[in-house]
Amino acid sequence: MKALSVLLLALTLGSLPIHAAGLKFSPELNGHYRGTLTYSSNGLAPTGSDFNVVVTVPGNGRQAKIAIDGFATATQGPTTISYAFLGNLKIAPNRTVTADNALLAFYFQIPATGRALGQKKLSYTLVSNDPAVGNVTMTYTLSFQGKKLTILGTGTAGGNPTSVSLIAKRRGP
């Protein structure tokens, strides 16, 4: 009976998903990135090719902060408007994702939290019920490959299918 309990415990521990492990980021990811943000929802597609992304990883690698800013230009009929898109994202060592924007970056804040899964390629879902936009549910994948940062998100915002993509490259070494 005791052996069976130990076996069950071992099986339970062994079946814990690998994503439960803590996260560690390389301080080499630190730096200024520049790239393109594309947003698509409800027939509008604001796009900006000169977005700034600042990645901050402390020396112990236990969290990553990503700050995004730039202008995205949208054309609707004869009118072209550039919107200031801002967004801040923090991934804590316990895999909690805290974002001031469920849409990654937008011209107003839509705070949301989520939980990151995976190791090299993180995925997380942000959910918010913002009075201005309505329900927002977006699932993201985030990956660093060499100097390249890619964040892709799909979901719904205010009942409309929505997608966001940010592809940025680190400047300097």
Partner 1 sequence: MNRLCLSLATLFTAGSIFTSSALAAKLDFTGYAGSYKATSIVVFGNTVLNGSNIQFDVAVPENGRQAKIKILGFGGAASNSGITYTSLLGNFTLTSQRRIVADNALLAFFVRLPATGRLSGSSKRLNFSLASSVSGVGDFSATYTLRFTGKKIIITGTGTALGGPLSVQYIAKKKHR
The residues that touch partner 1, with contacts defined as CB under 8 A, are 69-71, 76, 78-86, 100, 106-109, 131-132
Shortest distance, CB of residue 3 to partner 1, whole angstroms?
59
CA distance 78 to 145: 39
Cα distances from 138 to residues 8, 54, 156, 165, in angstroms, run: 37, 22, 6, 12
CA distance 159 to 15: 37
Shortest distance, CB of residue 18 to partner 1, whole angstroms?
37
Q: Of 72 and 116, which has the nearer Cβ to partner 1? A: 72
Q: Of 100 and 167, which has the nearer Cβ to partner 1? A: 100
Beta bridge partners of 48: 37
- At 162, is the secondary structure helix, strand, or coil? strand
| Nearest one of 172, 125, 163 to 39, comparing CA atoms | 163
| Nearest one of 134, 89, 131, 135 to 114, comparing CA atoms | 89
Q: Of 42 and 76, which has the nearer Cβ to partner 1? A: 76
CA distance 66 to 144: 12
Shortest distance, CB of residue 107 to partner 1, whole angstroms?
4
Q: Of 38 and 139, which has the nearer Cβ to partner 1? A: 38
Shortest distance, CB of residue 2 to partner 1, whole angstroms?
57
136 touches 158 (CB < 8 A): yes
Shortest distance, CB of residue 90 to partner 1, whole angstroms?
15
Q: Of 7 and 107, which has the nearer Cβ to partner 1? A: 107
- Please give the single-letter amino acid code of residue 20: A
